[in-house]
Chain A
Amino acid sequence: MEVQQSLTVCVTGAAGQIAYSFIPLLLSGQVFGQVKINLRLLDIPKMETALKGVVMEIEDCAYPLIGDIQTGSNPKELFQNCDLIVFLGGFPRLPGMERKDLLQKNANIFKEQGEALQEVGKEDVKCVVVANPANTNCLILSRYATKIPRQNFTCLTRLDQNRAYAQVALTLNKPLNSLKNIIIWGNHSTTQYPSIEHATVEGQSFVLPDQGQFIERIQKRGAEVLNARGNSSVFSAANAVKDHIKDWYNGREDTLLSLGVLSNGEYGVQSGLCFSYPIRCLGAFKYEIVGNLQLSDFSKQKLKVTEEELIQEQGLAESI
């Protein structure tokens, strides 16, 4: 089959673990259908040789949908002509590192990349920030790439959402696709609020036997997997990135989804923060924040806590 259209997609942190799992998904046709994908793979200079190995393996997979591939360490070169940029690369948390240091080191990276986007990026480029602290990194990115529409900046909370669906399905002993509208609110961190307040199972609202335990389990799932695997949740993260992009691009009629997006003040959240909200994906990368859900006092309290953390993070990050 002749593949007509093409998209140019940049992946940062391209020599890393999540990229290793994500790239086959991106090239499988599951995200954009029969569209050729031109790849731009960005990583730090130290990873240049490893990146060559990644490219060799992509070649050895003989993907029908692969277009051309460019690698490098300069975002001003690689961000040119990109339709979508997946920000997997960030500064990892090293032993003994303070949260403040993590935030500031990453803020520097995302400032540089935001400036590159501003200079060479396509006007309508779409951004998915995954590297943690994802929400604040996304906020910084958007601050320095002001020519790009605000709604083009998203961060990943789909992993938390997928985890929440899995736990609810397990607890209720129901199939996954009987569940709708489980929403992750706020920061992709331990203050996130996984909410079933507006969720349904087979069209009916429901309660969980232990709501507190459910919330805590989702918040701490990353650590749970780390303890078992001896390594972080790589593939499920890559899969969540795939789901985020796929639904953002194609639209979803049957359920609301969780994406971290720039707040316009919905639900009283400080405008400009990158906050995970209930989103209706309309197709062609268009979405709307569903801003009129009734929230219980319990929910409002939870939103306040996660918003507080995001305000704090913003303060620390912006002191660079």
Chain B
Amino acid sequence: MQKYLQKALTNQFTRASIAHFGQSLKPPVRVAITGAAGQIGYSLIFRVASGEMLGPNQPVILHLIDLPFAMTALNGVAMEIQDCAFPLVQGIVATDNQTVGFKDVNYALLVGAKPRGPGMERGDLLKDNGKIFTETGKYINDHASRDIKVVVVGNPCNTNCLILANQIKDIPKENFTAMTRLDHNRAQYQLADKLGVHSSDIRKIAIFGNHSPTMVPYIDQMTAKNHKATVDQQWVTQTFIPSVQQRGAEIIKARKLSSAASAGNAAMNHITTWVNGTAEGDYTSMAIPSDGSYGVPKGLIFSFPVTVKNGKYSIVQGLPISPFYQGLLDKTIKELVDERNAVDHLLK
């Protein structure tokens, strides 16, 4: 059944097509999503398939990857994608086989990870995910397109990315990133709300560090409607930072489900900005391999303020780091170093 589905779905769309408004389309790219049968996958896949991530002239071939037990549900997702009659979807590969899943893939959003079960220690979580991402790293190295761009979403995303990238020999390490865009978007909204502006009016903020409670929302250079804006320090330490850190839990409490839509949205934003570039006079947040900037140990997967141009990101250098921020940076660096030590046996 599954083989038939893969074959049938790929045959259907192999011919190049002209979008009905007459514009010609680019050659298709392959986009892989792991954890594709899950909740974040559900929010993410359809928006990618509709052309929101890479634009209305970019056809995509979807590679949907999940575990063997999820294959029936995944085939249901594939049916629904068909039922959307998306003009830009030129093929669907739904599989639990990572060789097939990552073959020639140009973009990978790695949502799948082992969730934290009751009574599980952080150390166990790190080790279990370590195994998963070691495997995936090998498959990506051996089968993906040499220009693949990867964002790790499944938590603990920074360290999962570190483990994954450790398996990569033949693809530039800078292509392997982790997602802090959700924290960035959340921070953007909280600041906009405080300052009484629209979130799109807030610029020059960034998330430093680990995607965890130690993350550092840096707002020293913030502008609102292109004017320097400040908020009082007490609000920052007592309300703002805890809000951003606890937002995920707050949403689970209200919805009884986790924040799948906003997480999927952020994953999509991360790739879109990486491809299209940052706006003039602004930066974004991506967790990337540290080059030692801001005293962050080299090689750690650390979120920095970055500008993006022509598909490449650069760390925004020289931002003033006050003692207050330095204290927060030290904490998040320490946490990431500890995480790296905990998975030392998986890193050569």
Listed in ascending order, the chain A residues whose CB lies under 8 Å from chain B are 20-21, 23-25, 28, 30, 49-50, 52-54, 56-57, 59-64, 66, 159, 162-163, 165-166, 169-170, 173-178, 221, 224-225, 227-231, 233-236, 238-240, 254
Closest CB of chain B to A232's CB: distance in Å?
Answer: 10
CA distance A254 to B75 in the complex (A): 32
**Judging by beta carbons under 8 Å apart, are A62 and B75 in contact?**
no
**Judging by beta carbons under 8 Å apart, are A228 and B76 in contact?**
yes
Residue of B42, B84, B188, B254 near A53 (CB, 8 A) is: B254
Residues of chain B within 8 A (CB-CB) of A235 are 42, 46, 80, 84
Residues of chain B within 8 A (CB-CB) of A56 are 247, 250-251, 254, 259
Extra contacts, 11 of them, besides A61-B261, A176-B17, A177-B17 (Cβ < 8 A), are A52-B254, A53-B254, A60-B259, A60-B265, A64-B198, A173-B11, A176-B86, A229-B73, A229-B76, A239-B46, A239-B84
Max count, chain B CB within 10 A of own CB: residue among A24, A25, A61: A61
List, sorted by A's number, 19 A–B pairs whose CB atoms are closer than 8 Å: A24-B261, A50-B254, A59-B186, A59-B193, A59-B199, A60-B182, A60-B266, A62-B199, A162-B85, A165-B85, A166-B83, A166-B84, A170-B82, A174-B15, A176-B17, A221-B79, A228-B79, A229-B73, A235-B46
**Judging by beta carbons under 8 Å apart, are A228 and B261 in contact?**
no
Interface residues of B in 242-258 (CB under 8 A from A): 247, 250-251, 253-256
Contact of A54 with B47 at beta-carbon distance under 8 Å, contacts A60-B182, A228-B79 already known: no
CA distance A234 to B79 in the complex (A): 12
Interface residues on B, range: 35 or more
Q: Does B43 contact A (CB under 8 A)?
A: yes
Residue of A24, A60, A233 near B47 (CB, 8 A) is: A24
Closest CB of chain A to B96's CB: distance in Å?
Answer: 15
CA distance A62 to B265 in the complex (A): 9
CA distance A231 to B257 in the complex (A): 15
Closest CB of chain B to A316's CB: distance in Å?
Answer: 29
Residue of B83, B185, B256, B261 near A62 (CB, 8 A) is: B185
Max count, chain A CB within 10 A of own CB: residue among B11, B50, B83, B266: B83
Residues of chain A within 8 A (CB-CB) of B188 are 62
Closest CB of chain A to B2's CB: distance in Å?
Answer: 12
Closest CB of chain B to A156's CB: distance in Å?
Answer: 13
Binding site of B, secondary structure by majority: helix, strand, loop or mixed?
Answer: helix
Contact of A162 with B262 at beta-carbon distance under 8 Å, contacts A53-B254, A62-B185 already known: no
Closest CB of chain A to B153's CB: distance in Å?
Answer: 15
Interface residues of B in 41-72 (CB under 8 A from A): 42-43, 46-47, 50, 52, 72
CA distance A163 to B11 in the complex (A): 18
A168 (CB) vs chain B CBs: closest residue: B85
Max count, chain B CB within 10 A of own CB: residue among A24, A50, A63, A231: A24
**Judging by beta carbons under 8 Å apart, are A49 and B254 in contact?**
yes
B199 (CB) vs chain A CBs: closest residue: A62
Contact of A57 with B259 at beta-carbon distance under 8 Å, contacts A24-B47, A170-B82 already known: yes
**Judging by beta carbons under 8 Å apart, are B265 and A24 in contact?**
yes
Residues of chain A within 8 A (CB-CB) of B81 are 236
Residues of chain A within 8 A (CB-CB) of B265 are 24, 60-61
Closest CB of chain A to B68's CB: distance in Å?
Answer: 15
CA distance A166 to B34 in the complex (A): 25
**Judging by beta carbons under 8 Å apart, are B254 and A228 in contact?**
no
Q: Does B294 contact A (CB under 8 A)?
A: no
**Judging by beta carbons under 8 Å apart, are B75 and A228 in contact?**
yes
A235 (CB) vs chain B CBs: closest residue: B46
Contact with A along B185-199 (1 / 0, CB 8 A): 110110001000011
Residues of chain B within 8 A (CB-CB) of A174 are 15
In the A-B complex, the 10 residue pairs with the smallest Cβ-Cβ separation, listed nearest first, are: A53-B254, A228-B76, A229-B76, A53-B255, A236-B83, A60-B262, A162-B85, A236-B80, A175-B17, A166-B82
Contact of A176 with B87 at beta-carbon distance under 8 Å, contacts A21-B43, A56-B251, A60-B185 already known: yes
